[in-house]
Every structure is written in C-alpha cells, then in structure tokens.
Amino acid sequence: MISGQRPLRHRLPSHPSFPGHPERMSEIPEAKAALRRRSRQRRREAAGGEAGGAGASAAAQVCRRLLESLAIPAEAAVSGYWPLRDELDPRPILSALAARGQRLCLPVVVEAGAALVFRAWRPDTLLEPAAFGTEVPGPDCPVVEPDILLVPLLAFDRRGYRLGYGGGFYDRTLAALRGRRPVVAVGLAFAAQEVAEVPVEAGDEVLDRIVTEQEVLAPPGLTARSGIDGLERA
C-alpha cells in the first residue's frame, strides 16, 4: 500500500449522459462501439508506423517518460500486462522495474463480470495461454494486489478517461481496489490514440496519469482523490 493516503473514490463529472438525461444515456454504448472501431485502426496505424512495425521506439520513450516522472516506492507492487496485437508494449517498463527488484504482477481474467486477479511475475516466469489471446502466469504463482497499475487502452482523453474493449474488467478492478485503499492507474498509449472526449457512463473509472511517447498527461483535479500524490518527481 502507498502510505499516507486516504481511500477516496474517483467521481464522474457532471455530464449530459447521466441521470436527468435518459435519452443521452441510451446513446453512449453506440458511441463507444463506433469509437472503438475508429480507435483500433488509429492504434494499428500508430504502431505500424514505428521501425519494425511493433512500436518499439514508442515503447522505449514511454518507459523513459514514466520512470522519469514517477518515483515508484521500492515496496510498491506494479501490475503490467502482456501486450496484445498493437497495444503499447509495457515490457521495457517491466524489465527496468524487475532489474531494480520491484514486485511485479500481471492481470488474469478469472470469469466474465468479475474483477481481475493479479499473479506475481518475473522475467523468467513461464506464461500460459489465456482468455482473449493473451498470456498469464499460471495458478501456482502467488496472487498480488497491485499499488500501481499499467493499463492498456484503445483511446483516451485529457480528462483521464479511457476507452477499453467493452468487458469492463479494469473499471471493476479499479473500483474494487479504490474502495479499499489508494492505488495509481497509469494508461499507456500512443499519442495518436488521444480523442477529444471519450463517451462516459456510470462505472467508468478515471486514470491518474496517461503516458505516451510524447508526454505525461496529468488529468486535472485527481491528486487529492488517488494515490498519485507523493509519487511525482520534482
């Protein structure tokens, strides 16, 4: 746990798609689906434009920016993810953290409609094929509750909202963790994945930081409501 913080929940801002505007609420799932289709293509193009077609240069820059901007406590557990297709690759970050002895873990989908479970990971951990084509540590690996989560996404905006794949796994997970104690959620993305506004509905959780190959985005007004305070480097 990151010490010195109180477990405060992130709250959704006033928005026309919330109660009092039921006609707009019904439009949000359709808007999200349309944005997912466009965002998949934009991310594919962003990754394909890198040398080697895998976004290696962007991943290295994101790694540098994240480690320069956040002072991750030695005792903190950090969750990554095993990249699918053209997701921004977090493995340079995980390798750098592993080299300094950081506790690391990867997410596991245990069942539909549930929060994610995180299992301990090291560079020499054997991974098993899992849901959605990803790879995860096996059931013999210890379960870890992360303090800092590196989160994949399809699109993001400067308010800190992300567009995921529609399963709600990270939203449920962040809501559960934030209900118990402060955690820090950091979205990793290509700069090209930014949109003017992600459609939001009740249950959508906010990211504390978003790191791209071009910058580190700090959504406004989140410091007092998350575990990010005290992690930022001067």
CATH number of the domain encompassing residue 35: 3.40.50.10420
Residue 131 has a pLDDT of 82
Residue 207 covered by a domain: yes
- Ranges of residues in the chain with a pLDDT under 50 are 1-23, 50-52, 54, 223-225
User: Position 40: which residue type?
Assistant: R
Residue 201 has a pLDDT of 92
Residue 191 covered by a domain: yes
Residue 230 covered by a domain: no
Cα–Cα distance measured from residue 117 to residue 40, given in angstroms and rounded to the nearest whole number: 26
Domain with 77 in it: 22-225
Residue 44 covered by a domain: yes
Residue 183 has a pLDDT of 96
Cα–Cα distance measured from residue 64 to residue 94, given in angstroms and rounded to the nearest whole number: 12
Residue 22 has a pLDDT of 40
User: Position 36: which residue type?
Assistant: R
Residue linked to tokens 């001067």: 234
Cα–Cα distance measured from residue 63 to residue 78, given in angstroms and rounded to the nearest whole number: 14
pTM: 0.85
Beta strands in 94-181 (DSSP E): 103-108, 117-120, 127-129, 135-137, 148-151, 155-156, 162-163
Residue 145 covered by a domain: yes
CB 69 within 8 A of CB 233: yes
Q: Please state the domain count of the chain.
A: 1
Residue 9 covered by a domain: no
Residue 4 covered by a domain: no
Cα–Cα distance measured from residue 177 to residue 170, given in angstroms and rounded to the nearest whole number: 10
